[in-house]
Chains A and B, each alone.
Chain A
Amino acid sequence: MKKIKRRGFIQALPFIAPAIIIIVVVLIYPLLYTFGLSFFDYSIARGLRFSGLGNYIKIIHDDKFITSLINTLYYTVVVVTVEGTLGFILASILNQEFPGRGLIRGLLMIPMLTSPIVSAITWRFMYNPDFGIINYLFSLVGLLPQVWTGDPKTALPSIMIVDIWEFTPFVMLLLLAGLQSIPQEQYEAAMIDGAGSWARTRYITIPWLRPMILVVLLLRTMDSIKIFDQVYALTAGGPGVSSMTLGVYAYINGFRNFHLGYAATISWVLALITIAICAFYIRSIQVPDHA
């Protein structure tokens, strides 16, 4: 067996070598570089200077970092919850046969495939406090105009709305694919036994869909934690740090203030968080499901 495996590797090598070389050089090496850089101070004037755990100590005492971390986690919990719920409802509706279903599914794919930076700027235009369409619609129904991205209280929720707009369709599509894989006989048998629609959802749909729900929520969690484009274009973390997330905070430290060592430390912490979640994700897709 061992021999077969070794032969297998020798046969596989020419095929996998290009992929491995590219991944090692362009992805793994930079990640190690980031790790190394997190032990250095870098500034344009003085270049690199070893600072040991300096950056890590700085992070713990950095209020802006803590705020960014809290914002990122809060953001993630809210958008994943809303997208999961709304996506599930939509998938259930689209799982029924009705005319125009394919068209609606296609139309709903537009937001999730639109470049995040473009969607953010589109919403920024609509959020404009003076001439934005959203405040206009608010005035029509008698609501007070909001400053949206310019108010510390509404800045982060404004970005969440864009996220929900963009990625609920993603959740919907994957859950719909999951729903469509449930054998109809299951429902028919349950109906013969007198199960109502709630019982069918509770005892057939949700258990069947569970692996898919878990996978989708984990994917969305990883994506939300590293949120960058939308925050960058809508608020750049402001006003103050009221909508700052870890990705943007790393970017600002690195490319506005040119503290690349500190930026590397922040992004390394961010990477560790996503790797930890990814470990859960890998475990959840390895469990042999009943399909």
Chain B
Amino acid sequence: MKNKTKTKIQRSISHIFLTVVLIFFLFPIFWMFMTSIKQPQDTFAIPPVWFFKPTWDNYTTTFIEQGYYKYLITSFEVTIIAVFIATCVSILAAYATSRFQFKGKSQMLLSLLVFYTIPGIAYAIPLYMIYGNLKIQDTPLGLIIIFTALTIPFSTWVLHGYFVSIPRDLEDCAMVDGCSRLGALVRIVLPLSAPGVAATTILTFISTWNNFLYPAILAGSKTKTLTVAMSAFIHDLKIEWGQASAVACAVIVPVLILILVAQRYIIIGLVAGAVKE
């Protein structure tokens, strides 16, 4: 009996704690969304206005009148192309490392981790100068190149773990039946490791989409991404918080959709990226 009361108390404590935690973690995003649908005069109201007539003005002003739709398109274009190329390249590389034995393989795999942990600024400074020489600064190509390269180490690392877990017998059978290695990879290994491929694609899409440092340094006015356009608000003397919030929400929405439809894959990818299977 005594024990039962104790567990009951423990349970309510953890529920209260969980509620407080949830408010802390969700409130900022909620507040930003509220700000984005407020009239300008309500944005700065103290005490804050909780009930108001929502308006989409901040969205139409930024995305249509001020042409922010261009930055949205650039963000999508650069992210999709880079993630697509990187995923293809990584699938090939991870397939090779999971199927063939060669000298220095494990060192090579582990060195991949080094590349994705090195601070971005160490790549960005030289790339700024190299891109200047090659005349590809402020082009989608320049951003696609660096984003592709940054994505490959993580994707290869995660996919390698996945491919290793897929039995070789099926491929061997297919190859006896006259299938080429590439054919076996595409027809047998890929479908079987679809969750892993989905996980890496989604995670690398999110991290590329969210990236700020590279477009801030390597892109100018022509290839501004949404994150760079968003950050530009803070340089204004009088920050238009309603509009800034609208742009911020636009950065978050694609990610929210992915969490909604693919939460399981995101977790798979995060765990596989952190530990060795």
Contact = CB atoms under 8 A, between A and B. Distances in A.
B234 interface: yes
Interface string A122-153: 11111000110100100000000000000000
B29 A111 contact: yes
Contact of A126 (B31, B211, B230, B266): B31
Contacts, number: 261
A173 B273 CA distance: 13
- Interface residue SS majority, chain A: helix
Given A117-B231, A165-B28, A22 B152 contact: yes
A121 B234 contact: yes
Given A8-B102, A115-B212, A255-B217, A271 B149 contact: no
Contacts of B14: 93, 96
Interface residues of B, number: 87
A85 interface: no
A30 B26 contact: no
Nearest to B146: A26
A278 interface: yes
A108 B23 CA distance: 10
Chain B residues touching A, majority SS = helix
A109 B259 contact: yes
Contacts of A89: 17
B129 interface: yes
A16 B119 CA distance: 25
Given A107-B26, A122-B248, A170-B270, A4 B101 contact: yes
B148 interface: yes
Nearest to B148: A22
Interface string A92-111: 01001000001011111111
Nearest to B93: A19
B251 A270 contact: no
Nearest to B228: A117
B274 A219 contact: yes
A84 interface: no
Interface in A259-291: 260, 263-264, 267-268, 270-271, 274-275, 277-278, 281-282, 285-286
Q: Nearest 6 pairs between A and B by C-beta?
A: A15-B96, A226-B119, A26-B149, A115-B210, A33-B126, A9-B102
27 contacts: A15-B93, A16-B96, A19-B152, A20-B93, A33-B129, A33-B130, A37-B126, A110-B259, A111-B28, A113-B259, A113-B266, A118-B252, A122-B29, A126-B28, A133-B48, A136-B46, A168-B25, A177-B271, A255-B128, A260-B125, A263-B121, A271-B118, A271-B119, A274-B117, A275-B114, A277-B117, A281-B113
